[in-house]
Amino acid sequence: MSQNKDNIYDILHTLHDLKLSFLSSGLAFKKEGDAYCIARSVGQVDVSSRQKAESVVDVVKEDVVIREIKKDVSVDIVKDLNEREAKIRGIASKLNSIDEIKDYLTNEASFCEIKKLAKNTVVCDGRSDAKIVLIGEAPGEDEDINGIPFCGRSGRLLNNVLKSIGLDRDVNLYITNTVFWRPPANRKPTDEEITLCRPFLFRLIELIKPEFLILCGGTAISCIAGHDGKISDLHGRVFDAKIGDMSIKASAIYHPSYLLRSPSFKKNAWIDMMSISKHIGHLL
């Protein structure tokens, strides 16, 4: 038992030094009472991170009582992330226009590592006076090059889908993303990246004051509705989304990139759009 605990201490200290890459790999500490259990999320984890994770899990499996690890020794990664989000939320709350948010994210923000690899900061597009806001996932290659959300092949499909029910970013729609920089190799944004960008997304919504949100894909759903929200459960349905002190009607649709990969779901997407159109007609 003593040897196992020493191994855990060594791993914890190592992860403390590597906590950025540890978080980026989708791993986290899960709080249970006064102790911390090591948890692995399902996601894209590189080989080295996976090996670190599995070595931790192997130790845990050896009947080690994690609750014996004192709080002042364990690495409270979740607390660290929450504190960073709170600090960012304070910054976002002081920005009083969309232009101020764009300027800060483009010229000052340094909280998200993927910004260093991106060509452009991709914040939004469309009408800032729109009553409907669509939230996507993150910029892809075309979006990163042009600095505009949904401007590539999937964006063209999305434009056609939206126009079928009278929505147009040049007329009555505002479009933004969950994360404002392209993740490397177009991978899915990590929980850390979503968490740290969320205060600015929420501030955008607070300034626009829309009456309806369209959540495009699973990442947008998890950002707004939490990890319990699933595209399979929420697509085409209308529910209340909590944005700060605001409660806004929302619905979810399949991401156009998913429809390009799985064209058999286009029929479902069409049905979902018909359902949404019944709830937004008075806003057009």
**Which tens digits make up the pLDDT trace of 9-58?**
454 444 444 443 333 333 344 333 333 334 333 333 344 444 544 444 44
Query: Any idea which residue has 């070595």 for tokens?
Result: 55
**Residue 80 resides in a domain:** no
Q: Domain tally for the chain?
A: 2
The pLDDT value recorded for residue 77 is 60
Claim to verify: residue 209 and residue 140 sit in the same structural domain: yes
**Residue 91 resides in a domain:** no
Helix 47-61 / helix 2-17 crossing angle, nearest 10 deg: 150
Claim to verify: residue 215 and residue 183 sit in the same structural domain: yes
**Residue 69 resides in a domain:** yes
**Residue 258 resides in a domain:** yes
Claim to verify: residue 134 and residue 223 sit in the same structural domain: yes
Condensed to tens digits (0 to 9), the pLDDT of residues 168-214 reads 999 999 999 999 999 999 999 999 999 999 999 999 999 999 999 99
Condensed to tens digits (0 to 9), the pLDDT of residues 113-123 reads 999 999 999 99
* CA 188 remoteness from chain centre: 9
How high is the mean pLDDT of the chain? Answer: 80
> Cα separation of 79 and 85, whole Å?
10
Q: What is the largest CA-CA distance in the chain?
A: 67
CATH code, 223:
3.40.470.10
The pLDDT value recorded for residue 7 is 52
Over its C-alpha atoms, the chain yields an Rg (Å, rounded) of 21
Domain boundary among the residues 46, 75, 104 is at 75
Residues 6+ apart with CB under 8 A from 90: none
Domain that holds residue 260: 96-283
**Residue 81 resides in a domain:** no
Q: Is the alpha carbon torsion for 18, 76, 90, 97 positive or negative? A: positive
58 CB neighbour count, 10 Å cutoff: 10
Claim to verify: residue 35 and residue 64 sit in the same structural domain: yes
**Residue 88 resides in a domain:** no
Query: Any idea which residue has 């201490």 for tokens?
Result: 9
As beta bridge partners, residue 241 has: 248
> Cα separation of 12 and 167, whole Å?
50
Q: How confident is the model at residue 78 (pLDDT cuts 50, 70, 90)?
A: low
**Residue 109 resides in a domain:** yes
Q: Taking the complete model, does pTM exceed 0.85, yes or no?
A: no
